[in-house]
Amino acid sequence: MISIQQADFDLAAEYQALRADAPSIGAIVTFTGLVRDFNLVESTPENTSVQGLFLEHYPGMTEKSLAAIIETAKTRWSIINTRVVHRIGAMHPGDQIVFVGVNSAHRGDAFAACEFIMDYLKTQAPFWKKELTEEGERWVESRDTDQQAAERWKTD
Amino acid sequence: MISIQQADFDLAAEYQALRADAPSIGAIVTFTGLVRDFNLVESTPENTSVQGLFLEHYPGMTEKSLAAIIETAKTRWSIINTRVVHRIGAMHPGDQIVFVGVNSAHRGDAFAACEFIMDYLKTQAPFWKKELTEEGERWVESRDTDQQAAERWKTD
Amino acid sequence: MIKILYFARLRDSLNRGEEQLEYSAAINTGEKLLSALKSRGAPWQDALDKTQLLMSVNQTMASPDASIQDGDEVAFFPPVTGG
Amino acid sequence: MIKILYFARLRDSLNRGEEQLEYSAAINTGEKLLSALKSRGAPWQDALDKTQLLMSVNQTMASPDASIQDGDEVAFFPPVTGG
């Protein structure tokens, strides 16, 4: 299940759906990303306070790239199902931005697949963040650490 | 927060507590373990159907060992808080057994600390599972894969 | 005709989110299309000269040597920052 | 006196969850205590002769060479299987 939506999401509902999938499920791993109140972009070390965020995306390609990321995860790990929710539009500090949930018979597979999906989403899925700070709007710069996180999963 | 309890737990409540901890939280990772309907113990490849489970523990040492595991996680990763709930007593297939939740400014730290806590809990915390199967009761054997999962985190 | 989309900072710089372009052999790869767009001068030259520019063809990430067919949807955008 | 606890399969095999034992130099390490218990014969010998037996002293995992003081709480149990 992939959902791109303006509305907030309910982690409990996502979790219950993952729990109900199959009686062989022994492990559920969830990741939730929240809007922080400070900025971690390396190019702006001053940690300017963030008042709001705007999430833009590329409709069509977003869903396609997330589906491809999930397919890759399913070939690499023994997982049963995944749920990915990514919000778009205006958000505020403390708001939920993204949810990735994975269920599996085994905890190792659930952890690895969930982190893999997040790392690839961060570098492959066409979302862009614009921050509203005390000094005005600015597009968030991509981070080298995100690129490195995704590189870790490369197999030769 | 560490809780050893007979009662079921509410993942949503645990998650909301982790979310409310600090405005600098950008990532929350949760792990939930469920009672499977089949047995994965290596010594019993027949996959006998499990009708119920009984969780025994060593009161006092359980809390002490979990606190030590969490302290180690906090020294190794940049995490803000953790919540661990482990149920004891009688359970049935599909029931929740264990919850580990971690919040952090960074997703990589949240993922690593959450998986570390689970891997160490599986080998260090004094819980024992007894299964009720079609053929009667039996104590669950420990698994080499759990030992290996914990070994991964060893630093020299 | 090909459809070209611009996103995020790039769309702001170009003051344009979308356009249609007549297809020809002069724009049948990512690199050639980029050259053609840059030749328009300011603000195109600067905005498209970023080392970190990404491109997709038909909603799949593509490298500059990717071929472009008539009817394709091509998009240019900065590195992604979702999640 | 020391307090000794037995858990899970081990408690079932010994048909005992807990006992008090007079402290002496003959049981002042994990290994010596284990020898003393095994010398009781069946079912102690067999039940405690598992290669996978774990031990704790005062609720912390301990190795067989761990020293035992008067008043300590010692526990023996099979490998843990929670989570």
Write the pLDDT tens digit of every residue in A2-40.
999 999 999 999 999 999 988 889 999 999 999 987 654
Per-residue model confidence (pLDDT) at position B133: 82
Quick one: pLDDT band at residue A129, thresholds 50, 70, 90?
very high
Write the pLDDT tens digit of every residue in A138-153.
999 888 889 899 989 9
Among candidates B11, B107, B149 on the partner chain, residue whose Cβ is nearest the Cβ of A31: B107
Per-residue model confidence (pLDDT) at position A34: 96
Please name the residue that has the structure tokens 């500090």. A93
Number of separate domains in chain C: 1
How many angstroms away from the CA of B30 is the closest CA of chain A?
Answer: 5
Residue D71 backbone class (left: φ over 0; alpha: ψ -120 to 50; beta: rest): left
Write the pLDDT tens digit of every residue in C28-43.
999 999 999 999 999 9
Per-residue model confidence (pLDDT) at position B5: 98
Residue that wins the pLDDT comparison between A48 and B43? A48
What is the rounded CA–CA span in Å between residue B73 and residue B69? 6
Please name the residue that has the structure tokens 């037995």. D6
Per-residue model confidence (pLDDT) at position B156: 63
How many angstroms away from the CA of A78 is the closest CA of chain B?
Answer: 14
Residue B79 lies inside a defined structural domain of this protein: yes
Residue D45 lies inside a defined structural domain of this protein: yes
A2 CB-near residues (< 8 Å, 6+ apart): A63, A66, A67, A70, A84, A85
Q: Does D83 touch chain B (CB under 8 A)?
A: yes
Q: Give residue D59's domain range.
A: 2-77
Chains that touch D (3 or more CB pairs under 8 A): B
**Per the structure block, which two tokens stand in for B19?**
């979310």
Residue A61 lies inside a defined structural domain of this protein: yes
Q: Give residue B104's domain range.
A: 2-135
Say whether the peptide bond before residue D79 is cis (omega within 30 degrees of 0). no
Per-residue model confidence (pLDDT) at position A48: 64
Are chains D and B in contact at 3+ CB pairs closer than 8 Å? yes
Q: Does D5 touch chain B (CB under 8 A)?
A: yes
Which C positions 38-67 lie with beta carbon below 8 A of chain A?
A: 52, 56, 59-61
Contacts of B114 in chain A (CB under 8 A): 29, 111
Per-residue model confidence (pLDDT) at position A38: 66
Per-residue model confidence (pLDDT) at position A50: 77
Among candidates D7, D59, D81 on the partner chain, residue whose Cβ is nearest the Cβ of B140: D81
Whether the pLDDT of residue A101 is over 50: the answer is yes
Residue B146 lies inside a defined structural domain of this protein: no
Number of separate domains in chain B: 1
Q: Does A59 touch chain C (CB under 8 A)?
A: no
Residue D28 lies inside a defined structural domain of this protein: yes
What CATH number does residue B85 fall under? 3.90.1170.40
Residue B53 lies inside a defined structural domain of this protein: yes
Residue C82 lies inside a defined structural domain of this protein: no
Residue C67 lies inside a defined structural domain of this protein: yes
What is the rounded CA–CA span in Å between residue B133 and residue B146? 22
Residue C71 lies inside a defined structural domain of this protein: yes
Q: Does A124 touch chain C (CB under 8 A)?
A: yes
For chain C, what is the largest distance between any 2 Cα atoms, rounded to a whole number of angstroms? 38
Per-residue model confidence (pLDDT) at position A37: 77
The low-confidence residues of chain C, meaning pLDDT below 50, are none
Residue D44 lies inside a defined structural domain of this protein: yes
Q: Do D8 and B141 touch (CB under 8 A)?
A: no
What CATH number does residue C67 fall under? 3.10.20.30
Mean pLDDT over residues A53-81, rounded? 97
Whether the pLDDT of residue A42 is over 50: the answer is no
Among candidates B105, B111, B145 on the partner chain, residue whose Cβ is nearest the Cβ of A115: B111
How many angstroms away from the CA of A17 is the closest CA of chain C?
Answer: 21
Residue B96 lies inside a defined structural domain of this protein: yes
Residue B18 lies inside a defined structural domain of this protein: yes
The low-confidence residues of chain B, meaning pLDDT below 50, are 40-43, 45
Quick one: pLDDT band at residue A85, thresholds 50, 70, 90?
very high
A28 CB-near residues (< 8 Å, 6+ apart): A15, A18, A19, A101, A102, A103, A110, B30, B31, B32, B34
The size of the A-B interface in CB pairs under 8 A is 97
How are strands ordered across the β-sheet holding A89-91?
A89-91, A50-57, A127-133, A136-139
CA A22 to chain centre: 24
Residue B43 lies inside a defined structural domain of this protein: yes
Contacts of D8 in chain B (CB under 8 A): 56, 128, 130, 139
Quick one: pLDDT band at residue A108, thresholds 50, 70, 90?
very high
How many angstroms away from the CA of B127 is the closest CA of chain A?
Answer: 17
Share of chain A above pLDDT 90, in %: 74
Average pLDDT, chain D: 95
Mean pLDDT over residues A50-79, rounded? 96
From the list B53, B105, B111, the residue with the least C-alpha distance to B78 is B105
Per residue, the 3-state secondary structure of chain A, as one string, reads CEEEECCCCCHHHHHHHHHCCCCCCCEEEEEEEECCCECCCCCCCCCCEEEEEEEEECCCHHHHHHHHHHHHHHHHCCCCEEEEEEECEEECCCCEEEEEEEEECCHHHHHHHHHHHHHHHHHHCCEEEEEEECCEEEECCCCHHHHHHHHCCCCC
